[in-house]
Amino acid sequence: MERSATSPWKKTLRDAELLPGYQWLLQDLPKLPLFDSVRGMTSTALQQAIHMETDPQTISAYLIYLSQHAPVEEQASHNDLALDVARLIVERSTIMNSLFSRHSCRPESDAVLSAFLTIFSTYIKRMRKTKEGEDLYSWSESQDQVFLRWTTGETATMHILVVHAMVILLTLGPSQRRE
């Protein structure tokens, strides 16, 4: 069977080519026979590492890996992933500037932006499927969550950092000048 140019396999291969020093993570690790048995632990470790790592290429590889392989089947794990990535976007502005600086024009920037969008779009789709009366977050006195309502009537309660991060992502990417 021939794989299409948009298949996940091709995307993983292209991302590994953008970050050749991380082929072991993006291409080789997922091919291991017992990969599913370590996928959760690997994702948890990488989620923690994005808060301490200072090398933009390493963070790029971690984010690409997480967007493709983080186990999001369990809602709590999915919420944690979205919140960890949101903290990176909102609280680590130096790293974000390095990843998306207009002056550095990094080749992996598009892949990282795609990884962010994949993580958050999957998260939003899941949150919008929430049934009425089902609280995935418990309300707190610190008011760190916001209630969202779409025109379709769907609703979601999300951490304010996740919403803030998504707004920041809307400002990234190639500029679209109209003349």
Domain boundaries, the chain: 8-169
Q: Which residue in the block uniquely carries the two structure tokens 């600086």?
A: 101
Q: Band of the pLDDT at 7, cuts 50, 70, 90?
A: very low
The CA distance from 41 to 49, in Å, is 12
Report pLDDT digits (tens) over 130-151. 555 555 555 555 578 888 888 8
The CA distance from 157 to 135, in Å, is 8
From the list 65, 56, 176, the residue with the least C-alpha distance to 109 is: 56
CA distances from 4 to 7, 17, 122 (A): 5, 18, 22
pLDDT of residue 133: 52
How many Cβ atoms are within 10 Å of 79's Cβ, its own excluded? Answer: 19
pLDDT of residue 11: 58
Query: What SS3 class is residue 129?
Result: coil
The model's pTM:
0.82
Q: Is the pLDDT of residue 20 over 60?
A: yes
Q: Regarding predicted confidence, which is higher, 170 or 1?
A: 170
Report pLDDT digits (tens) over 52-96. 999 999 999 999 999 999 988 888 888 999 999 999 999 999 999
Burial 107-126 (b: 16+ CB within 10 A, else e): ebbebbbbbbebbbebbbeb
